[in-house]
Amino acid sequence: VNNAGIVRDGLVLSMKEADFDQVIDVNLKGAFNMIKHTYSHFMRKRRGRIINITSVIGLSGNAGQANYASAKAGLIGLTKSVAKELAGRGVTCNAIAPGYIATDMTDALSDKVKESMEAVIPMKKAGSPEDIACTAAFLASDAARYITGEVIRVDGGLAM
């Protein structure tokens, strides 16, 4: 499970190139490196599951998050490409796209921002890390053996 993620938010006009690069390096290149280093192992075993944690922001974009949206959209492309490369070897590659999840990263937001985010979610609440973990456990199980190249939104209906 490739779950590393950071944010360095800012409008493109004022975003430092180093902040753009750091988000791409952690959020996208980190997943690429992990996949690259496990690729031949999975091919030899003719079995495996790769799960990339992307974001609904990778599907929709978000003002002030061009770097984050680019990295998460890139993860979707990486997921689909790797899925096509490894499918014939019994290896699946899927992505989970969380919406607003109550985590340490979102705890830093003000209560006002959290309330405004929850207001636009059809389920009217943030998700939990367990919601993502249960989806990952399903994708890693034999019950998901015929699912590959998919992006599963876990977002309370936010991006529908």
Q: What angle do CA 137, 143, 149 make, to 5 degrees?
A: 75
Question: By the 8 A CB rule, do 126 and 101 touch?
Answer: yes
Q: What is the pTM of this model?
A: 0.94
Q: Which tens digit of pLDDT belongs to each residue from 68-124?
A: 999 999 999 999 999 999 999 999 999 999 999 998 878 888 889 889 999 999 999
- Alpha carbons 19 and 76: distance in angstroms, whole number: 21
Active-site entry in 39, 68, 100, 146:
68
Q: Which residue has the tokens 């019950």?
A: 143
Which two tokens mark 52? 């990339």
- Alpha carbons 105 and 57: distance in angstroms, whole number: 15
- Alpha carbons 151 and 117: distance in angstroms, whole number: 22
100 is catalytic: no
Q: Which tens digit of pLDDT belongs to each residue from 105-120?
A: 788 888 898 899 999 9
